[in-house]
Amino acid sequence: MIIEVPSPFPYKDDKVVPWKYDVNIVTPKDEKLKAIIGDVGEGMEGTVECQTRGGKGVVRRYSGAGYSLAKGMGIGKHIVSDNFTVGGYRWAIYFYPDGKNPEDSSTYVSVFIALASEGTDVRALFELTLMDQSGKGKHKVHSHFDRSLESGPYTLKYRGSMWGYKRFFRRALLETSDYLKDDCLIINCTVGVVVSAIDCSRLHSIQVPVSDIGAHFGMLLENMEGSDITFDVAGEKFRSHKLVLAARSPVFRTEIFDGVDEQKKEMVITDLEPRVFKALLHFIYRDPLSEDAESVESSSASLSSVSETLIAKLLAAADRYCLERLKLMCESRLCKNISVNSVAKILALADEYHATELKAVCLRFAAENLAAVMRSDGFEYLKDNCPLLQSELLKTIAGCEEDYSSGGKSRSVWAQLSDGTDTNGRRVRQRT
């Protein structure tokens, strides 16, 4: 028993950087194609707009007689967009009205995305969507983004490398479909550049040591520099600092600053032993338990000795001065000392000093080892001094019974009383 003091591209080592851009198809530089299609301003005006947030890039538009003029321009002839930047690289869209290769010229249009800047082994994901202009939303999507990172990215080796579809869409179907409206096609394009996420912490790290504030305050406690109050504990003097005490304990703050005499230089402590007050100050200044408090007697300790341990008395002091962390630390140490012989006394301590977690552990332990506990001196102590705890123990036993009935254990806590064994089936020696 122990008392204890989202991305759209979920890739682990690499990440995809999608950018939004708005790209219009522009007139190609080829003079022969200009003669066929027309100059910029004759239905092929183009702009590029780049933003640094994820989204879709739109490739558009054939306006006026754009598509009909482009049709028949020749196999391998293309219309190219202005360059746009994604992930630090320039890209361009190539549209082949008569197909990119001879075998596709009579049947399909081709669409490709090309790396337009210098680059080596650029890894990217692409998506091309032919937009349904009827409003029905039946878009034609060609995407890499639904594939895993290991198989999905396409590697473009050098400038001019392309990714796309030679058979993007059957030409005859395209010309009679809702994708072509007013001699105009709209193609949405998304480019996601895969960049390696270099974990600098694996290569270079600067270790930050644990906080040493406790050590510094501990030195303040040792040399008493700047101390402004003295405590008299059974004749032994302890010098301290009002601000430190007030910062750590609301009780000290009230006693020091809300009293009749705020300028008082000495206080008398009548309800603590010097060793307990010393351990209390050690925690207030340093935070951990003192070495003396860490030393808890073994589980074979006699009934009377449990309440006399430093850790038990420090628990009382922690409750007295509202030091919740110290109280929990004391609970944790006492929890390790729970046994058949000590559980009743520790339970009484936990109840008296409002140690709720320690109390819950003690009740559970006593319920699960009921026969042995009832034959101990501690149980007699509970009967004589803590009758209310007996009723709480019965409630805990009832809770254990529910666990047994639901299959938690094979033996009832009441059954152990009939044959002198504990809940684990171990024989318990009868007291004489």
Domains plus CATH for the chain? Answer: 54-194 (2.60.210.10), 210-295 (3.30.710.10)
- Where do we find the tokens 């929990």? 328
Distances (CA, A) of 143 to 5, 128, 130, 317: 52, 6, 11, 69
Angle, helices 343-352 vs 387-405, to 10°: value is: 110
Q: What is the DSSP string of 108-155?
A: EEEEEEEE-S--SSEEEEEEEEE--TTSS---EEEESTTS-TTTSPEE
The whole-number pLDDT of residue 332 equals 93
If we measure between CA atoms, which residue out of 64, 92, 58 comes closest to residue 163?
92
Which pTM value belongs to this model? 0.51
The whole-number pLDDT of residue 253 equals 92
Q: Take residue 39 and report the two structure tokens written for it.
A: 């100059």
Residues 6+ apart with CB under 8 A from 22: 47, 48, 49, 57, 58
254-294 pLDDT per residue, tens: 988 886 566 778 999 999 999 999 999 999 999 988 888 77
Low-confidence ranges of the chain (pLDDT < 50): 6-65, 298-301, 303, 409-414, 417-432
| Pairwise CA distance, residues 148 & 197, whole Å | 17
Query: What letter represents residue 339's amino acid?
Result: S
The whole-number pLDDT of residue 325 equals 95
The whole-number pLDDT of residue 379 equals 81
340 Cα distance to chain centroid: 41
CB 355 within 8 A of CB 349: yes
Angle, helices 310-320 vs 324-335, to 10°: value is: 150
Distances (CA, A) of 252 to 42, 225, 242, 245, 249: 86, 20, 8, 6, 5
Query: Which parts of 27-123 fold into alpha helices (H)?
Result: 31-37, 66-70
